Chain A
Amino acid sequence: GAVVSQHPSWVICKSGTSVKIECRSLDFQATTMFWYRQFPKQSLMLMATSNEGSKATYEQGVEKDKFLINHASLTLSTLTVTSAHPEDSSFYICSARDALAVRNTIYFGEGSWLTVV
């Protein structure tokens, strides 16, 4: 089946630095990718929707200047957490829509753990 890969799987960064998380669709073209944040034992909260070649659409309450999303190609979207703080520590998951699949199927990555110290 279709595969979505996230990198890194886990990252530790110092407070005040920026960290980038990549989301790649390995065997299909993803015109749309989604970024979620998940706190322990909670559901997924959609942060933003990114469309290839255009600006991301952010959900209400998500700081676009803090969570920079770039979708430069049909197989890659990146999330950059700028000036990270400990409260940004979380599990970040991306998903990608396979526009050519039946019913625009969405596939999820394995997630990335971010710890800000």
Chain B
Amino acid sequence: AQSVTQPDIHITVSEGASLELRCNYSYGATPYLFWYVQSPGQGLQLLLKYFSGDTLVQGIKGFEAEFKRSQSSFNLRKPSVHWSDAAEYFCAVEGRGGGNKLTFGTGTQLKVEL
């Protein structure tokens, strides 16, 4: 069965510092990969997605993620974090071919120190 692991439950960084959130997946084949962000009491906003091609994906709000097949990872990065980036971040996978459901990781809570 497919699964998504986000090893870090909480991460605290200083404003202006770089950020990397880890995501590992277990799936029979390379799935579609997503990162979502959720502010408290809000729905989910898609940051970026990987389907194929270039393994470095650019997203909104200055985020990027790199797909590494050999490590079954899809880590999210940002060079310089802003206080407004504090939120919950979810990695998700979907089976190829479309029409499949998303499987979410447990999330990483990001705190930003001013």
Do A and B interact?
yes
List chain A positions with a Cβ less than 8 A from chain B: 4, 6, 32, 34, 41-44, 46, 49, 91, 93, 95, 97, 103-111, 113
Assembled-state Cα–Cα distance A44/B43 (Å): 11
SS of A interface (majority): strand
Is A108 touching B45 in the complex (CB atoms < 8 A)? yes
B35 in contact (CB, < 8 A): no
Among B42, B101, B103, the residue within 8 A (CB) of A111 is B42
Report A-chain residues with C-beta under 8 Å of the C-beta of B107: 42-43
Assembled-state Cα–Cα distance A103/B34 (Å): 12
Is B105 touching A108 in the complex (CB atoms < 8 A)? no
The residue of chain B having its C-beta at the shortest distance from the C-beta of A106 within the complex is B102
Assembled-state Cα–Cα distance A4/B49 (Å): 19
Name the 5 nearest CB pairs between A and B, nearest first. Answer: A104-B98, A110-B43, A108-B44, A108-B43, A111-B43
Among A46, A103, A108, the residue within 8 A (CB) of B32 is A103
The residue of chain B having its C-beta at the shortest distance from the C-beta of A10 within the complex is B41
15 contacts between A and B (CB under 8 A): A4-B43, A6-B43, A42-B106, A42-B107, A43-B90, A46-B101, A46-B102, A95-B102, A103-B98, A106-B94, A107-B46, A108-B46, A109-B43, A110-B42, A113-B41
B 14-48 contacts with A by CB, 8 A: 32, 36, 41-46
Is A103 touching B104 in the complex (CB atoms < 8 A)? no
Q: How far is the CB of B85 from chain A (nearest CB, A)?
A: 18
Among B42, B99, B103, the residue within 8 A (CB) of A32 is B99
Among A95, A104, A108, A111, the residue within 8 A (CB) of B99 is A104
Assembled-state Cα–Cα distance A110/B39 (Å): 10
Assembled-state Cα–Cα distance A95/B100 (Å): 13
Given A44-B90, A103-B32, residue A111 in contact with residue B109 (CB < 8 A): no
Report B-chain residues with C-beta under 8 Å of the C-beta of A32: 99
Is A44 touching B104 in the complex (CB atoms < 8 A)? yes
B83 in contact (CB, < 8 A): no
Q: Quick one: CB contact mask for B77-105 with A, threshold 8 Å, 1 for yes? A: 00000000000001000100011011111
Is B32 touching A43 in the complex (CB atoms < 8 A)? no
Q: How far is the CB of B1 from chain A (nearest CB, A)?
A: 11
